[in-house]
Amino acid sequence: MARHGGGRGWYGKVLGAALGVTLLATGASVWTAQAGAEGGSSPKATASATPGGGVKPVAVTIAHASDEGARGVNITIDDGPDPVWTPPMLDVLREHGVKATFCMVGTQARAHPGLVKKVVAAGHRLCNHSVSHDTTMDRKSQAYQAQQILDAERMIIEASGGVRPVYYRAPGGAFTPYSRKLAASRGMRPLGWNVDSKDFERPGADAMVATVERELPNGPTILFHDAGGDRSQTVEALRRILPWLKERGYSCGFPVR
């Protein structure tokens, strides 16, 4: 799982909006998480409640496998929601009967709550992708990491109308042992990827399709983006990849939790 994206890039413009966001009441203390993974859940999956109104911890290890088994594939879409490109991606997914995992940036979710609700209503799952997509957060303090994870969690829950993110994907794969434990303690399984479509570089739909076809034997979790610029190539690549997967006997599911 290599780092992806262009650093903080376009997210620099939203960092100012994040500066006024305060830590949740839970604070930035060191969290612990149980190693046992949680079982499967519905398309609108939420972290299991525990007595006292908390959430059930999940495994701290980085998930890659699919809940559809050996022929399962996980479509994951990062960095949105985006008012221009998330809707056509939702259309393509609906046309092919595929559910995906949307890894949302907190400030984007807060800016576009209607889109977050549409993603949930369509049966897709939510993933926390931090407040501001800082790909260097693994080199920052634990307090900063906690702010990025916990505030994004709150923003996504508020935007969705109460539906919790059930995964946490570190920006650019910048996980730390602390961030994984913190996310897992909040019911968000750390989520990696096996196949990077390279759509962030906009190499053309043909190149994206070829990359997925070539690298799928590496594992089932495929990375796409619905924000950060023109994603028309990604929409076209998805339109071609989804039927290709079905023709070869793959089933699209969700990452294991």
Identity (one letter) of the amino acid at 49? A
* Whether pLDDT at 25 is above 70: no
Q: Which of 112, 138, 225, 226 is catalytic?
A: 225
Active site residue 91: no
Query: Token pair of 216, please?
Result: 């799928």
HSE (side-chain half, CA atoms, 13 Å) at 119: 35
Q: How confident is the model at residue 203 (pLDDT cuts 50, 70, 90)?
A: very high
pLDDT, position 134: 97
Find tokens 């916990």 and name the residue. 150
**What percentage of the chain exceeds 70 in pLDDT?**
79
Tell me the pLDDT of the chain averaged across its residues: 85
Please name the helix (run of DSSP H) or strand (run of DSSP E) that holds residue 54, with its range, or none. strand 54-55
- Tell me whether residue 67 is one of the annotated catalytic residues: no
| CATH assignment of 58-249, among 3.20.20.370, 2.40.110.10, 3.40.1160.10, 3.40.50.150 | 3.20.20.370
pTM (global) more than 0.95 = no
User: Model confidence at 232, in pLDDT bands (50, 70, 90)?
Assistant: very high
Residue-wise pLDDT tens digits, 169-193: 999 999 999 999 999 999 999 999 9
Tokens of 221: 């979790």
Q: What is the Rg, in whole angstroms, of the alpha carbon atoms belonging to the chain?
A: 17
- Domain edges within the chain: 58-249
Q: Spot the catalytic one: 4, 78, 79, 134.
A: 78
Whether 6 has a pLDDT exceeding 80, the answer reads no
